Structure 1
Amino acid sequence: MKAIRVVAPGGLDRLEFVDIADPGMPGASEIRVRIHATSLNYHDLIVADGRKPVGNRRIPMADGAGVVEAVGSQVTEFAVGDYVVSTFFPTWLEGAPTVGDFSTVPGDGVDGFAVEYVVRAASSFTHAPKGFRHVEAATLTTAGVTAWRALVVDAAIKAGDTVLVLGTGGVSIFAMQLAKSFGANVIATSSSDAKLERAREIGADHLINYNDQPDWCKEVITASGGCGVDIVVEVGGPGTLAQSIKSCRIGGHIALIGVLTGGAGPVPTAAMMVRQQTLQGLIVGSREHQRQLVRALDSTGVRPVVDAVFPLENLAEAFRVQDKAAHFGKICVEF
């Protein structure tokens, strides 16, 4: 069967497209899945290009969607022919966070989903939303669940809230769509007017080009009626956090998701304290969070925004497109 592997010390030119042994049939509590799609995330990129070292010849990609081909004797949740999607933390099923590293994450601590067939514990998957194509379902594992947890689980979003999303990557677009489905108002930022217009088309209420307005927090305050937003989906990290704090209302919630501007930096703690805000760090979510998201998508009709689709053998090219940050929503691989 076909697979992509990361050859240490990493680098997109060192991704190898290979034939490897078939995983065989599932054990009692396992399922065999024919993987048809995966989607690209920042975490996958830094694994593939070597910035985050992993085991030599690791199969990358945290997200996987496909069809169940066989089920173990003790599996009752899935049947042959079911469309399924993988989970980010296979051992975190529900409840409070139980994982503080990437040792169990597919494509990092264990082999991922840039491969045609896998045999995994049944609890490592959930059903895909009804009617979703595999490329759509593959966007849920990381980006979709992250946005769901940030808005619904941690921030308890409600109708009438105002949400600030930074940029137009996968998590931000998912957050925008989910916020609108809850009846919230959305303020979106980007460096591209063209991307902002696309954000308007999917429901963004106010658009800010942060190249034109470097102190974009002032525009956020104005757009939110002078008091600041209820929720910030913060994907930038230290380079944007100070303005996110200024953009958020007194008692508001900041979901710290990304580190696109760096892994460490100063935090204006006094400003946060005075404004009595909650800063919640998070990495994706549990299997139960993913099941909640799937139910929500089934009921709301929200569909992921897929910007481009590549074949498996062109995964390195897909990563290069991602690294240029020219995409809107998700980049996927289908095979």
Structure 2
Amino acid sequence: MKYWSFADDFGLENLVLKTGDMPKPGPRDVLLEMQAASLNYRDLVVMRGQHGKNIRPPLIPLSDGVGVVIETGPDVTGFEPGDRVSPAFYQHWHGGPPPLDLEAGRLGGPLDGVLATHRVFSAESLVSVPAQLSATEAATLPCAGVTAWSALSEPVPVRPGETVLILGSGGVALLALSLAKASGARTIMTTSSAERAENLRSLGADLVIDRSTTDNWAREVRNATGGEGCDRVLELGGAATLASSIKAVRNGGIIILIGNVTGNNADLFLPLLLTRKLTLQSVSVGSISGFCALNRALALHEIKPVIARTIPFVSAPDAFIALEAQEGFGNICIDSFQA
């Protein structure tokens, strides 16, 4: 098999293509021939060596991928050669509360990820993907897709008629838009350019706020909701946006903490929280049962993730460059694993 690895250190200059022996599945394992992978912001953090002391090279990167079953162990049931499946982001979180050692089970660090032509996974960590999705579309689901699903399901599911504010226009935000619309919610999106704003409108966003021309987007959200604020915020920004998200949500509303692309340390005016009965809920992707629920919803509503660009496996470092440069609108994916 062939695989990309941060062999000796992190940094894109240390991502090298290697050749190794074909892995063999154990009694309860499945051997996959990988078809496609997708990148998340987290993969840039890992590439920069900034994801914590427990993630160390050598490491095969990327958590989101899809493959075809080519061999199963003798004790495996439920999967057969030819089935198309994705490995779950958390290999050991099957459902219910997260395990105490949650971080230990993550693909793409500390566990080896999916940027390889072949990988072996426990059958219990695999999920069948919707038939209507292409390989690249299905590859976006394990981290980005499940995160969007969890953000709209926790601590309680979004209800028809509620207003959901979604920050940004990355892979999580775009799938969350489609899922929120399917649930009957009104959607407000923020983005960084007129072009992206038009793309979001074409996907069905009810209101799009272009931050490049709007200084106070929290006020715009309140104006659009009759002064009350939205019911739920999908907070993908981090330190620089959290205070505005708190101002944009209604009393008793929910803020789902997802990303930290604008920084890790937020300076908050506590009275905005203390007197308004807000819920701040963090989301860390989700469980395997959540992944299965997401796939049922995607199939039912015929939802497809948005793909910005695909890059062949042999040129995988270019995908990191494209993501870092925020090229395109949608997910950056890798395909042609077997070419």
Place the TM-score, normalised by the shorter chain, in its bin.
Answer: over 0.9
SS at 2:241 equivalent: helix
SS at 1:103 equivalent: helix
Q: Residue in 1 aligned with 2:30?
A: 31
Matches within 5 A, 1:131-142: 131-142=132-143
Q: Residue in 2 aligned with 1:18?
A: 18
Q: Does 1:93 align with 2:94?
A: yes
Q: Is the Cα contact below 8 Å between 1:92 and 1:99 reproduced in 2?
A: no
SS at 1:188 equivalent: strand
Q: Residue in 2 aligned with 1:110?
A: 111
Q: Residue in 1 aligned with 2:302?
A: 301
State the aligned residue count.
Answer: 334
Post-superposition CA distance 1:287-335 (Å, at most 9, x none): 0000000111111101000110001122211111111223322111112
Question: Counterpart amino acid of 1:187?
Answer: I
Q: Residue in 2 aligned with 1:45?
A: 44
Which range moved further: 7-16 or 48-57?
48-57
Post-superposition CA distance 1:131-163 (Å, at most 9, x none): 211111110101110010110243410111111
SS at 1:186 equivalent: strand
Which range moved further: 297-306 or 64-73?
64-73
Q: Is the Cα contact below 8 Å between 1:238 and 1:267 reproduced in 2?
A: no
TM-superposed deviation, 1:49: 2.9
Question: Counterpart amino acid of 1:128?
Answer: V
Q: Is the Cα contact below 8 Å between 2:232 and 2:256 reproduced in 1?
A: yes
Cα distance between partner residues in 1 of 2:272 and 2:307: 37
Q: Is the Cα contact below 8 Å between 1:155 and 1:253 reproduced in 2?
A: no
Question: Counterpart amino acid of 2:81?
Answer: V
Q: Is the Cα contact below 8 Å between 2:87 and 2:121 reproduced in 1?
A: no
TM-superposed deviation, 1:47: 1.2
Q: Among all aligned residue pairs of Structure 1 and Structure 2, give the percentage whose two residues are the same amino acid.
A: 38
Cα distance between partner residues in 2 of 1:258 and 1:269: 21
Q: Residue in 2 aligned with 1:211?
A: 212
SS at 2:205 equivalent: coil
TM-superposed deviation, 1:102: 2.9
SS at 1:95 equivalent: coil
TM-superposed deviation, 1:269: 2.7
Matches within 5 A, 1:231-310: 231-310=232-311
Which range moved further: 142-151 or 52-61?
52-61
TM-superposed deviation, 1:17: 1.1
TM-superposed deviation, 1:193: 0.7
Matches within 5 A, 1:135-214: 135-214=136-215
Cα distance between partner residues in 2 of 1:304 and 1:91: 25
Q: Is the Cα contact below 8 Å between 2:27 and 2:76 reproduced in 1?
A: yes
> What's the RMSD between the two structures over aligned residues?
1.3
Which range moved further: 33-42 or 46-55?
46-55
Which range moved further: 42-51 or 231-240?
42-51
SS at 1:176 equivalent: helix
Structure 1: runs of 5+ lacking an equivalent: none
TM-superposed deviation, 1:238: 1.3
Q: Is the Cα contact below 8 Å between 1:169 and 1:327 reproduced in 2?
A: no
Structure 2: runs of 5+ lacking an equivalent: none
Q: Is the Cα contact below 8 Å between 1:232 and 1:244 reproduced in 2?
A: yes
Question: Counterpart amino acid of 2:200?
Answer: A
Question: Counterpart amino acid of 1:218?
Answer: R
